[in-house]
Amino acid sequence: MSTSHPRGLYLLFATEMWERFSYYGNRALLALFMISALSFDKQFTAALYGQYTGLVYLSPLIGGYVADRFWGNRRSILVGGALMAAGQFTLFLAGSFYTRLELAIPLFYCGLGLIIAGNGFFKPNISSMVGQLYSAHDSRKDAAYTIFYMGINLGSFMAPLVCGTLGDTGNPADFRWGFLAAGVGMLLSLLVFRTLQHRYLHAPDGAPIGLPPRRLSAEEKQRVDTSLTTVDLDRMLVIGVVCFFVIFFWSAFEQAGVSLTFLASESTDRTLFGWTMPTAWFQSLNPVFVLLFAPLLAQLWSVLARKNREPASPTKMAIGLLLLSAGFLVIAVGVQQIAPGVKMSMLWLVAMYWLHTLGELCLSPIGLSLVNKLAPAKFASLLMAVWFLANAAANWFAGVLAGFYPEAGKPAPVFLGWQIGNLADFFMLFVVMALVAGALLLLLTGALQKRMHGVR
Ligand code: GLN
3-class SS of residue 222: helix
CA–centroid distance, residue 249 to ligand 1 (Å): 12
Q: Would the CB of 329 count as within 6 Å of ligand 1?
A: no
Q: pLDDT at residue 3 above 70? A: no
Q: Counting atoms of ligand 1 from 1, which one is nearest the CA of 24?
A: 4
Q: Would the CB of 27 count as within 6 Å of ligand 1?
A: no
Q: Give, using CA atoms, the residue closest to atom 10 of ligand 1.
A: 152
* All structural domains of the chain: 1-212 (1.20.1250.20), 228-456 (1.20.1250.20)
Q: Do the Cβ atoms of 238 and 452 come closer than 8 Å?
A: yes
Q: Counting atoms of ligand 1 from 1, which one is nearest the CA of 387?
A: 8
Picking from 256, 257, 225, the residue whose alpha carbon sits closest to that of residue 359 is: 256
What does the pLDDT look like over 10-29, one tens digit per residue? 999 999 999 999 999 998 89
Instruction: Give 225-254 as a DSSP string.
Output: HT---HHHHHHHHHHHHHHHHHHHHHHHHG
What percentage of the chain has pLDDT greater than the value 90? 73
CA–centroid distance, residue 261 to ligand 1 (Å): 18
What does the pLDDT look like over 336-354, one tens digit per residue? 999 999 999 999 999 999 9
What does the pLDDT look like over 229-262, one tens digit per residue? 999 999 999 999 999 999 999 999 998 877 888 8
Mutate to test the pocket of ligand 1, among 123, 152, 242, 290 (most ligand atoms within 8 A of CB): 152
Q: What is the pTM of this model?
A: 0.89
Q: Would the CB of 316 count as within 6 Å of ligand 1?
A: no
Q: Would the CB of 20 count as within 6 Å of ligand 1?
A: yes
